[in-house]
């Protein structure tokens, strides 16, 4: 979000505007000469004269966007960027006045600045969103729809006029009605106890506290060590069965393990049960008989 104008910047902007309005306009022929000098020889003096004569156009277009709450000085600065872009792209041989060509670039630069800085949330990225943002208030005023919420008829009217969907109108209405609010803004003390809270105090974080996260990591590491120790006490056949049945994403069937080990699937089930019992006893010893940790397997 942009900062508000200070007294110093307001005075500086006024001096700039006054000076811009006093600069003389250019005749068509002289304008084309200056444009060709800049395009062909990069004559900076010609560029300065060409753009200075059109500063009043920047001021005029910037003033149309003052109601968006952004500093006039910034609007003019962005307009000047658009003016320079126009000067770099202007073709004098097309016999079009520079002001006509530059107006589009100046307006586009200012509009992009407004969209970037009007809210900390990106307001418009598509052509439909930009059209809604810059025309909705005008169209509402045209049909005297001045309430806080638009009527269904008003939304339909705006959608038809701008060639967008009613859903797009509803979304933009919500964005334009919602104001940015600082998380450090204070909440009024209704209890009268003198305690002042901020909006950020009401935000709920679903993440675990740092102490809990560290504790969980340590516990997980310890559990892995316990299970590794328990696995070391199994014989090779028990280890194969436990790994295949308990420690893989795709559990191997009893029948398949029986075929691989040359035993019946019932025998595999018995060995698995015995191995789990052996591991459970080992975990109980390491955890001082805590059944919660013994249930890891």
Of 126, 143, 147, nearest to 156 by C-alpha is 143
Candidate CATH numbers 3.40.50.150, 3.90.950.20, 1.10.10.10, 3.90.700.10; the one for domain 210-294: 1.10.10.10
Is the pLDDT at 256 greater than 60? The verdict is yes
Residue 86: CB atoms within 10 A of its CB come to 23
Residue 245: CB atoms within 10 A of its CB come to 19
In tens, the pLDDT along 97-106 reads 999 999 999 9
Residue 163 or residue 187, greater confidence: 163
Residue 159: strand pairing partners: none
Distance CA 132, CA 159 (A): 9
Of 182, 185, 176, nearest to 158 by C-alpha is 176
Is the pLDDT at 277 greater than 50? The verdict is yes
The contacts found for 114-117 with CB under 8 angstroms, 24 or more apart, are 114/65, 114/68, 114/70, 114/75, 117/1, 117/2, 117/70, 117/74
Distance CA 241, CA 8 (A): 80
Mean pLDDT of 134-151: 80
In tens, the pLDDT along 31-61 reads 999 999 999 999 999 999 999 999 999 999 9
pLDDT of residue 151: 81
Enclosing H/E stretch for 197: strand 197-198
Is the pLDDT at 295 greater than 60? The verdict is no
Residue 162: CB atoms within 10 A of its CB come to 18
What does pTM read for this prediction?
0.53
Distance CA 129, CA 79 (A): 21
Is the pLDDT at 221 greater than 80? The verdict is yes
Q: Which CATH architecture has domain 1-118?
A: Up-down Bundle (1.20)
Residue 187: strand pairing partners: 197
Distance CA 135, CA 120 (A): 20
Distance CA 291, CA 283 (A): 9
Residue 57: CB atoms within 10 A of its CB come to 21
Task: Give 5: exposed, middle or buried? Use CB within 10 Å, 0-12, 13-18, 19+.
Answer: middle
pLDDT of residue 197: 74
pLDDT of residue 60: 94
Is the pLDDT at 63 greater than 80? The verdict is yes
Average pLDDT along the chain: 83
Q: Which two tokens stand for residue 60?
A: 């005029």
Contact between 38 and 50 (Cβ < 8 Å): yes
């Amino acid at each position: 979000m942009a900062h508000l104008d200070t007294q110093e910047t307001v005075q500086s902007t006024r001096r700039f505007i006054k000076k811009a309005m006093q600069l003389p306009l250019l005749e068509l022929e002289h304008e084309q000469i200056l444009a060709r000098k800049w395009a062909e020889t990069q004559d900076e003096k010609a560029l300065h004269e060409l753009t200075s004569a059109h500063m009043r156009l920047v001021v005029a277009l910037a003033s149309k966007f003052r109601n968006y709450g952004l500093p006039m000085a910034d609007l003019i600065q962005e307009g000047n960027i658009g003016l320079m872009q126009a000067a770099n792209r202007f073709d004098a041989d097309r016999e079009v006045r520079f002001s006509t060509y530059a107006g589009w670039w100046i307006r586009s630069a200012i509009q992009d600045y407004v969209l970037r800085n009007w809210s900390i949330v990106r307001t418009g990225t598509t052509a439909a969103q930009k059209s809604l943002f810059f025309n909705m208030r005008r169209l509402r005023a045209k049909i005297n729809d001045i309430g806080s919420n638009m009527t269904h008829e008003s939304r339909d009217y705006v959608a038809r006029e701008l060639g967008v969907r009613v859903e797009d109108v509803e979304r933009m209405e919500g964005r334009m009605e919602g104001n940015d609010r600082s998380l450090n803004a204070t909440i009024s003390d209704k209890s009268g106890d003198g305690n002042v809270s901020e909006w950020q105090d009401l935000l709920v974080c679903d993440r675990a506290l740092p102490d809990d996260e560290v504790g969980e990591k340590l516990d997980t590491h310890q559990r892995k060590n316990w299970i590794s120790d328990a696995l070391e006490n199994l014989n090779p056949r028990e280890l194969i069965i436990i790994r295949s049945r308990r420690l893989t994403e795709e559990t191997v069937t009893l029948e398949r393990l029986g075929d691989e080990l040359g035993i019946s699937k019932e025998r595999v089930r018995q060995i698995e049960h015995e191995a789990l019992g052996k591991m459970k006893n080992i975990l109980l010893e390491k955890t001082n008989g805590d059944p919660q940790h013994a249930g890891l397997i």
